[in-house]
């Protein structure tokens, strides 16, 4: 059985304090959304990607800007539209007569944090341009593979699919996002703070990075060292099995979803200053991880409702 290491064996005090400052700073910039912010950090530290789905104007883009600025990663934004082409994201090879050859010109995907804004306003062909990048951290143009910077993190925003001018994300695209979150309307107190406070863009531009690319990479490595016991894995597998056997679920969770769940739970434990995973960590990330992967039989329940049903049905031994 692997040895359970202490928290400070895998995370230094300096890293712990820097991570705490980063969380505090993003909470100051995005008011009244501590749970969404914590889960955004979970997706980042787990080495995954984040999908933010909600109505326009609820702070999705603000969260993406604030997170990128705080963790010190290069940030680029692509506004997805109906006429956006894959080459507009990935880049293109251009013939340069002076050199007598084609030269690759990287697209905006070559960055630390890519904000794919309103991703579901682009057709599926353009959405799928992100698949290789999100899974393999590389893009292939004209038969040549180009590595992306590390760490690499995609934050996509999308409007509800019942709004005009939207295309549903393919299931394969949805599965590449570790977590899907909704921002929701702010509380009256948080909205008053927004109305009385400085402009969010000015605040974000003025804030100082609390982490850097090397720190983010080191924290991702630390997540891999967070211990998951056999009993914990039993609980995780019970949730996966229940999702495949539930009468109301047409498509359950895949093994890849199980691996993502374990990584997200490990990242959540790290954010709670623990070197081991508890069932609470799985429960804290499960709805955001499973909600966009579960497909209801007959369409009577949302994915989030199905995820909540599974949590209620599967007991912790």
CA 141 to chain centre: 25
The whole-number pLDDT of residue 159 equals 78
Taking alpha carbons only, the member of 214, 197, 229, 63 closest to residue 149 is 214
Residue 153 to residue 102: CA distance in whole angstroms: 29
CA dihedral of 16, 19, 21, 27, whole degrees rounded to 10: -140
Q: Domain residues of the chain, as ranges?
A: 12-210, 226-317
The whole-number pLDDT of residue 161 equals 61
Look-up of token digits 């959405």: 127
Cis-peptide into 151, omega within 30 deg: yes
The whole-number pLDDT of residue 15 equals 96
Residue 261 to residue 269: CA distance in whole angstroms: 12
CB atoms under 10 Å from CB of 18, counted, come to: 20
Provide DSSP, the chain.
------HHHHS-HHHHHHHHHHHHHHHHHSTT-HHHHHHHHHHHHTT--EEEE--TTSSHHHHHHHHHHHHT--EEEEE--TT--HHHHHEEEEEETTTTEEEEEE-TTSSSEEEEETGGGS-HHHHGGGHHHHHHSEEEETTEEEEPPSS-EEEEEE--TTSTT--PPPHHHHTT-SEEE---PPPHHHHHHHHHS--HHHHHHHPPPS--HHHHHHHHHHHHTSB--HHHHHHHHHHHHHHHH-TTEEE---HHHHHHHHHHHHHHHHHTT-SB--HHHHHHHHHHHHTTT-EESTT-S-HHHHHHHHHHHSPP-
Q: Has domain 12-210 been given CATH number 3.40.50.300?
A: yes
The whole-number pLDDT of residue 171 equals 82
Query: Residue-wise pLDDT tens for the chain (317 aa)?
Result: 566 789 999 999 999 999 999 999 999 999 889 999 999 999 999 999 999 988 777 788 899 999 999 999 999 999 999 899 999 999 988 878 887 788 889 999 999 999 999 898 888 788 888 889 999 999 988 888 999 999 999 999 987 765 556 777 878 888 999 999 998 888 888 888 888 876 778 888 888 999 999 999 999 999 999 999 999 999 999 999 999 999 888 889 999 999 999 999 999 999 999 999 999 999 999 999 999 999 888 767 788 999 999 999 999 98
The whole-number pLDDT of residue 163 equals 56
Are the C-beta atoms of 283 and 311 separated by less than 8 Å? yes
Residue 47 to residue 299: CA distance in whole angstroms: 31
Residue 229 to residue 17: CA distance in whole angstroms: 27
Residue 220 to residue 264: CA distance in whole angstroms: 11
Span 226-317 CATH architecture: Orthogonal Bundle (1.10)
What separation in angstroms does the CA of 295 have from each of 257, 299, 316?
13, 8, 24
pLDDT per position as a tens digit, 1-59: 566 789 999 999 999 999 999 999 999 999 889 999 999 999 999 999 999 988 777 78
The whole-number pLDDT of residue 26 equals 96
Are the C-beta atoms of 167 and 122 separated by less than 8 Å? yes
Q: Give pTM, 2 decimals.
A: 0.92
The whole-number pLDDT of residue 305 equals 93
């Amino acid at each position: 059985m692997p040895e359970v290491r202490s928290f400070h064996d895998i995370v230094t005090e300096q890293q712990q304090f820097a991570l705490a400052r980063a969380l505090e700073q993003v909470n100051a910039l995005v008011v009244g959304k501590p749970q969404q912010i914590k889960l955004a950090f979970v997706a980042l530290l787990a080495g995954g990607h984040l999908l933010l789905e909600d109505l326009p104007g609820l702070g999705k883009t603000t969260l993406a800007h604030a997170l990128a600025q705080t963790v010190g990663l290069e940030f680029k934004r692509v506004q997805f539209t109906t006429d956006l082409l894959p080459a507009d994201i990935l880049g293109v090879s251009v013939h340069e007569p002076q050199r007598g050859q084609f030269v690759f010109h990287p697209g905006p995907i070559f960055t630390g944090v890519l904000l794919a804004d309103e991703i579901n306003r682009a057709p599926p062909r353009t959405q799928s341009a992100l698949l290789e990048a999100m899974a393999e951290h590389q893009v292939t143009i004209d038969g040549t593979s180009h590595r992306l910077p590390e760490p690499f993190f995609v934050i996509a925003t999308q409007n509800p699919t019942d709004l005009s001018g939207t295309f549903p994300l393919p299931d394969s695209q949805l599965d590449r996002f570790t977590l899907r979150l909704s921002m929701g309307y702010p509380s009256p107190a948080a909205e008053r703070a927004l109305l009385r406070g400085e402009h969010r863009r000015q605040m974000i531009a003025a804030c100082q990075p609390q982490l850097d690319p090397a720190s983010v990479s080191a924290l991702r490595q630390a997540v891999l060292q967070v211990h998951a016991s056999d009993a914990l894995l039993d609980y995780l597998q019970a949730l996966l099995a229940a999702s495949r056997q539930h009468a109301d679920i047409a498509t359950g969770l895949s093994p890849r979803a199980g691996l993502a769940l374990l990584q997200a739970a490990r990242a959540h434990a790290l954010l709670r200053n623990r070197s081991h995973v508890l069932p609470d960590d799985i429960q804290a990330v499960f709805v955001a991880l499973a909600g966009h992967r579960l497909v209801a039989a007959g369409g009577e329940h949302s994915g989030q409702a199905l995820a909540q049903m599974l949590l209620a049905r599967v007991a912790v031994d």
